[in-house]
Amino acid sequence: MSGAFDVSMVRAGSQLLRVGRHPGSVKGPPLLMFNGIGGNIELFEPFARLLARESIIFDVPGVGHSPQPRCPYRLRTIAGLAAQVLDHFGHRQCDVLGVSWGGAPAQEFARVHGERCRRLILCATATGSIMLPARPAVLLKMATPRRYVSRDYIVSVAGDIYGGEFRRNPALAEDLFKHIRWQSWRGYYLQLTAAAGWTSIHWLHRLKQPVLLMAGADDPIVPLRNAKLMRRLIRNAELVVLDDGHLFLLTRAQQSVRAIDQFLARE
């Protein structure tokens, strides 16, 4: 069982999901979180421990300890599963946070289930298939889940793909690997195909929620200019840039939580 989350198996339609819930200590809508590609609940532990409000996260089908799905899915499917998870805990409305790959289903949730999304936080993410891409060498490393399978491999590539503190401190990669709950290559590639061809670039301007964009100044996977583009596309958006890389929610956890708490508490 995860240290930061109360973990349970939740039925969402025909799909069983491993869900983590951190109860929090302040009132307000829960923070529904969407993880990055290949990411399991435990990777959010250091960040979730600092959150004052209730937070909910789940392993997507085929990742972590959520069973494999019966067939391939799209991002709208993940948004629908998230809505059912909210129903399970009796929440009508929530705030939403998506990081990296998880920023795509977070945007989709805000669009399709707009009445349930009060505010939206997008971290180290972009507009999908139409974006300002990373360098080919970085994309090639992201095309394989080897970093979730081999400790030696993640230590060797972490600086190149995550940037920021991971360039200077190889021990961060070893600590990250300890939190990984690897399941299968199929689950990873199902996530890749779920986002294939998806983009939000043509409808971001229609989002009604206030949006907080957070980005790392040294992010090899999602270069900073993507966040600047999204700030121009979204009507009610603000941008916070951290002096770090792709995983600033972990390496700059306290600074990140302060910015998020201020955004969520604002009238």
Q: Which two tokens stand for residue 182?
A: 């690897």
**Crossing angle (nearest 10°) for helices 75-88 and 185-195:** 110
Q: Which amino acid is at 105?
A: P
Residue 68 CA to residue 102 CA, distance in Å, equals 18
Alpha helices in the chain (DSSP H): 45-48, 75-88, 103-112, 136-142, 146-149, 151-162, 165-168, 171-178, 185-195, 224-233, 248-251, 253-265
Indicate left, alpha or beta for 71 from its phi (over 0: left) and psi (-120 to 50: alpha). Answer: beta
Residue 210 CA to residue 228 CA, distance in Å, equals 16
Active-site residue 100, yes or no?
Answer: yes
Q: Which of 55, 100, 200, 256 is catalytic?
A: 100
Are 54 and 31 a contacting pair, CB within 8 Å? yes
Place of tokens 């421990």: 49
Place of tokens 């990742």: 63
User: For the chain, what percentages of helix, strand and coil (3-state, to nearest 5) are there?
Assistant: 45, 20, 35
Find the largest Cα–Cα distance for the chain: 47
Catalytic residue numbers read 100
